[in-house]
């Protein structure tokens, strides 16, 4: 078997995610197929590249050697393809990565209005997105860092802090007894089922710390954001949510007493040029989303942090 760029890309994905399952999901292939591909690569190179354990996959010394040569090759190939496409279309493509955010739609709209064509890649893992920027797969990434769980920032990345600490709120069924007040004490939710996405870097640990500090041990279900929202609406669970989350007829959004959960919002890139080109549009979009969310707007006003006035969106001639 002759090694190809796709094989090197697979090795990088396994190393970045630490798991064959997560790497397969990132690459859009079945896990058995990726496992077979890894065995063939190891046979071709003559040794084991990853040590497999119940906790995940870690590169062996041989694996680290191969990865040190593979990453620059993968990055160069992606850069070549991106630049060639941009040249062929006459446009300016911006490869954007992001975790979930209410600001995302406004950010993309503003980037287009500024003459950039964003190519979006979503991932629940900020660490994966940061590695994709470092490897040249993305130009910029908008990520969150859960308080108490620092991100693993690759060497050479440049960061800008959008929000130093964004409090996390809770979404509840609209008829939940605690929604009568604008602030909810987490201890009043001890009897509720919670839903948490364990694949989001740091979120599970942060919520568990909050429970321990409050002296409660509620039942916890695992699920993604979309599943959690659907189950909140039907009264099955409560869940942590971003403060910019909008209430609905069947779902309420409330602040948590004492703001026990927080995240830091960051924009990452390899160059100052990429940062400065994307940050203004992101700032405008974020504060627009904050103004539209009643609970978050009230929290910001109470904290003496009024949202910046909206800037006019440029119009291309």
Give pLDDT, residue 180.
94
DSSP helix/strand/coil, 120: strand
pTM of the entire predicted model: 0.72
User: CA separation (Å) from 134 to 123, 138, 219?
Assistant: 15, 8, 38
Contact 45, 67 (CB under 8 A): no
Give pLDDT, residue 29.
87
- What are the tokens at 79? 């850069």
Name the nearest CA neighbour of 225 among 56, 102, 97.
Answer: 102
CA pair distance 50, 191, nearest whole angstrom: 43
Contact 225, 196 (CB under 8 A): no
Give pLDDT, residue 316.
43
Give pLDDT, residue 315.
44
Domains in the chain: ranges and CATH: 5-77 (1.10.10.10), 91-165+263-293 (3.40.190.10), 167-261 (3.40.190.10)
CA pair distance 104, 220, nearest whole angstrom: 28
- What are the tokens at 243? 């403060």
CA pair distance 96, 23, nearest whole angstrom: 20
**Cβ-proximal residues to 64 (8 Å cutoff; 6+ apart), any chain:** none
Give pLDDT, residue 313.
46
CA 91 to chain CA mean position, Å:
27
Mean pLDDT, 10 residues at a time, the chain of 317 residues: 88 89 86 93 93 87 92 77 60 87 95 90 94 92 96 92 96 96 96 94 95 97 91 96 95 97 96 92 96 94 73 46
Strand order in the sheet with 169-173: 183-184, 251-256, 169-173, 239-241
Name the nearest CA neighbour of 288 among 101, 96, 100, 103.
Answer: 103
Give pLDDT, residue 114.
87
DSSP 140-177: EEEEEEETTS---PPTT-EEEEEEEEEEPEEEEETT-G
- What are the tokens at 91? 């446009």
DSSP letter, residue 49: -
């Amino acid at each position: 078997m002759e090694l190809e760029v796709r094989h090197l890309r697979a090795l990088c994905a396994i190393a970045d995610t630490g798991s064959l399952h997560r790497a397969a999901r990132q690459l859009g292939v079945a896990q058995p197929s990726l496992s077979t591909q890894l065995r063939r690569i190891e046979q071709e190179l003559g040794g084991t590249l990853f040590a497999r354990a119940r906790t995940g996959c870690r590169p062996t010394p041989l694996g680290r050697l191969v990865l040190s040569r593979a990453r620059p090759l993968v990055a160069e190939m992606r850069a070549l393809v991106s630049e060639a496409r941009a040249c062929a279309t006459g446009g300016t493509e911006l490869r954007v990565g992001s975790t979930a955010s209410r600001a995302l739609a406004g950010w993309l709209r503003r980037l287009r209005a500024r003459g950039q064509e964003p190519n979006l890649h979503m991932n629940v893992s900020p660490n994966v997105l940061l590695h994709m920027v470092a490897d040249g797969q993305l130009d910029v990434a908008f990520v969150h860092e859960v308080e108490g769980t620092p991100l693993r920032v690759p060497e050479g990345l440049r960061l800008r802090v959008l929000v130093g600490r964004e409090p996390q709120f809770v979404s509840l069924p609209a008829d939940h007894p605690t929604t009568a007040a604008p602030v909810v004490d987490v201890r009043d939710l001890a009897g509720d089922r919670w839903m948490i996405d364990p694949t989001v870097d740091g979120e599970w640990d942060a919520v568990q710390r909050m429970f321990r500090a409050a002296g409660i041990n509620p039942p916890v279900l695992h699920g993604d954001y979309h599943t959690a929202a659907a189950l909140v609406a039907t009264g099955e669970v409560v869940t942590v949510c971003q403060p910019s989350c909008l209430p609905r007829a069947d779902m309420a959004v409330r602040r948590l007493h004492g703001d026990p959960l927080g995240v830091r919002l960051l924009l990452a890139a390899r160059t100052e040029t990429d940062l400065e080109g994307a940050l203004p549009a992101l700032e405008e979009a974020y504060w627009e989303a904050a103004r539209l969310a009643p609970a978050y707007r009230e929290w910001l006003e109470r904290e003496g942090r009024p949202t910046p006035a909206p800037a006019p969106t440029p119009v291309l001639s």
